[in-house]
Amino acid sequence: VSHDAIARPSASQPIAVDAHGGDHAPDAVIAGAAAAVRDGIPVILVGDEGALRPRLPSRVHLPIRHASEQVGDDESASHAARRKRDSSMRRAAELVRDGAAAAAVSCGNTGAMLATAVITLGLLEGVDRPAIATAVPRKDGGRLVLLDSGANVDCRPELLACFASLGSAYAEALGTARPRVGVLANGTERSKGNAQARAALELIEAGSVDCVGFVEPTGALEGQCDVLVCDGFVGNVLVKGLEGAVDVGFTLFRQELLRYPSARLGAWLVQRAIRRVWRRVAWDEYGGGLLLGARGVVVIGHGRSNPGAVRAAIGLAARAASGSLVPTVERRLAER
């Protein structure tokens, strides 16, 4: 496949959004898409025009690309990707393939969107399996690119080395000059890690990315690396652990604030601070995961996305597209 075959997204191109993906679709998707349009990002909604049209807000430009089918949450990924040729997911991915959209966003069935993206857009040269990258807030205010956060549960070390290149390219596309890549482990010494991590570390150190060795989650969140590589089982568990910890902390804090009148007054005074922190650490502000390795920009949002999460996912897709994600990833892979 020649380099020219890649659709080059421009800032003026819209983001194709699967209107039927996620637990709160289509209403949360429509509301999130409308918010993104107000942010200045053009959007095409993809889905059942008859169902969507009456729900559209007035005074927001939200064109619809009709698709007659929808993919269910418990549907087989390969069946959905291969057979449902007129699904909202498939049509969204096709808009990217055909250069009519800069990126596709879905909060639906992750496996199905992944398979659909691979079938419709194809994989970049040198990529065996795509990975999902999640941007996690760090203590120093930066963002950690964590991958694979859920696409591939059992991985050979070679796959982790591929993720290192993909993640490094993604961090570059998002503006980090020479991303430091860490291999997720239970300690920083070379004797740490499991068999998979130790083998992956050797492969990654022999490659072209800037590898800083094993990094623990605590160290990664403190800013010891820009990209953290692991398999999709561990990555998914880690991302959900971070989300859960934030949720526990905020829930307990809210309970404590209601215990005393003085704390309630204090809560009123610190509410802006709480909101600002929440906006930086809450899962629904991450924008979900970015599919890396496909010949186009695809964002997979959380299934439980509310309008804010959909808006964040669309924002992430727009940033990745305008940062020339796909050409950067392709160049990085060629350097390996």
Cross-strand bridge partners of residue 184: 215
- Cα(310)–Cα(207) distance, integer angstroms: 36
Q: Which residues, 6 or more positions from 18, have their beta carbon under 8 angstroms from its beta carbon?
A: 29, 46, 47, 88, 89, 92, 104, 105, 106, 107, 108, 113
Q: Which is nearer to its own copies, 37 or 239 (CB)?
A: 239
Closest CA to 279 of 312, 237, 236, 317: 312
Tokens of 240: 């959900």
- The DSSP element (H or E) to which 268 belongs, if any, is helix 261-269
Shortest distance, position 181 Cβ to its own copies, whole Å:
17
Site for its own copies in 275-294 (CB under 8 A): 276-277, 280-281
> Binding to its own copies by residue 260, rule CB under 8 A?
yes
> Binding to its own copies by residue 78, rule CB under 8 A?
no
Query: Which of 11, 206, 252, 334 forms a contact with its own copies (CB under 8 A)?
Result: 252
- Cα(138)–Cα(281) distance, integer angstroms: 9
Shortest distance, position 325 Cβ to its own copies, whole Å:
25
Site for its own copies in 166-195 (CB under 8 A): 184-187, 189, 192-195
Query: Which of 60, 64, 199, 257 forms a contact with its own copies (CB under 8 A)?
Result: 257
Query: From residue 230 to residue 249, what is the string marking binding to its own copies with x (rule CB under 8 A)?
Result: xxxxx-xxx-xxxxxxxxxx
Q: Which is nearer to its own copies, 172 or 231 (CB)?
A: 231
Decide if 166 contacts 329 (C-beta within 8 A): yes
Burial 167-197 (b: 16+ CB within 10 A, else e): bbbbbbbbebeebbbbbbbeeeeeebbeebb
Shortest distance, position 79 Cβ to its own copies, whole Å:
13
For its own copies, the binding residues (CB under 8 A) are 74, 137-139, 150, 153-154, 184-187, 189, 192-195, 197, 216-218, 220-222, 230-234, 236-238, 240-253, 256-257, 259-260, 262-263, 265-270, 272-274, 276-277, 280-281
